[in-house]
């Protein structure tokens, strides 16, 4: 295998589009934090568990999101629509600990129902989560920390919930590509699974 920077470029260039978890947390003092992560997916349906993986920084330090979840055991995963892309990108900057990204990026916060961290008010769907497990995958720069969170409440914007299901087109989510590139889900095609 090649050097770490080369592997990173191959991974983010080949595995795409990657959905974005816009994760809101509180630190032990109650300060709000909001940051996006594109190493994110569903881990389980029963029990309902989401997972995302904050990488360690270049100096091997933990990101604020990981520190906060270790301290409080709670977080909210907010889905990012095309209309929220610019604000989400603003929260991807490396702010010092204790800075409120909701304020810095002018993101409206709304109180959650079960967990203490707020959710993004304008997110089409938000998942309130309690920590299930953290799997540390190393101590070197860019090592992952797989965070598994059990969903304890879901908020769905009424405009995207029709006939008992989500209208994915109205959801209008974005995905992370390579470099500074993003994508939408508007160019879709259908294939039915074959019956055998």
pLDDT in tens, 101-137: 999 999 999 999 999 999 999 999 999 999 999 999 9
What is the DSSP annotation of 174-188? EEE-STT-EEES-S-
Q: Which of 36, 40, 64 is nearest to 52 (CA)?
A: 40
The pLDDT value given to residue 1: 56
> For residue 190, is it within any domain?
no
Looking at the domain assignment, is residue 192 inside a domain?
no
Structural domain that includes position 41: 4-183
In a domain, 82, yes or no: yes
User: What is the reported pLDDT for 161?
Assistant: 86
Answer whether residue 59 is part of any domain. yes
Q: What is the 3-state secondary structure (H, E, C) of 75-143?
A: EEEEECEHHHHHHHHHCCCCCCCCCCHHHHCCCCEECCCCCCCCEECCCCEEEEEEEEEEEECCCCCCC
- pLDDT of amino acid 33: 98
Question: What would the pLDDT profile of 157-184 be if each residue is shown by its tens digit?
Answer: 988 888 888 888 888 999 999 999 999 9
Asked if residue 191 is part of any domain, the answer here is: no
129 belongs to a structural domain: yes
Query: What's 86's domain CATH number?
Result: 2.30.110.10
Model confidence band, residue 185 (pLDDT cutoffs 50, 70, 90): confident
* Domain assignment of residue 194, yes or no: no
The total number of structural domains that make up the chain? 1
Report which of residues 4 and 154 the model is more confident about.
154
pLDDT of residue 2: 59
List, for residues 47-99, the tens digit of each pLDDT value: 999 999 999 999 999 999 999 999 999 999 999 999 999 999 999 999 998 89
User: Does residue 29 belong to any structural domain of this protein?
Assistant: yes
């Amino acid at each position: 295998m090649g050097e770490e920077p080369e592997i990173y470029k191959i991974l983010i260039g080949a595995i795409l589009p990657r959905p974005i978890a816009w994760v809101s947390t509180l630190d032990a003092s109650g300060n709000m934090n909001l940051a996006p992560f594109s190493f994110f997916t569903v881990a389980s349906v029963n029990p309902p568990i989401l997972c995302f993986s904050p990488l360690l920084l270049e100096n091997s330090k933990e990101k604020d999101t990981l520190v906060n979840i270790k301290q409080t055991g709670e977080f909210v995963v907010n889905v990012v629509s095309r209309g929220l892309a610019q604000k989400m990108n603003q929260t991807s900057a490396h702010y010092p600990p204790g800075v409120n990204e909701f304020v810095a990026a002018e993101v409206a916060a709304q109180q959650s129902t079960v967990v203490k961290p707020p959710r993004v008010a304008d997110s089409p769907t938000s998942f309130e989560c309690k920590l299930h497990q953290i799997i540390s995958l190393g101590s070197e720069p860019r090592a992952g920390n797989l965070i598994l969170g059990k969903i304890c409440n879901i908020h769905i914007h009424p405009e995207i919930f029709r006939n008992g299901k989500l209208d994915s087109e109205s959801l209008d989510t974005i995905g992370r590509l390579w470099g500074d590139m993003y994508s939408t889900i508007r160019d879709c095609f259908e294939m039915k699974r074959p019956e055998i």
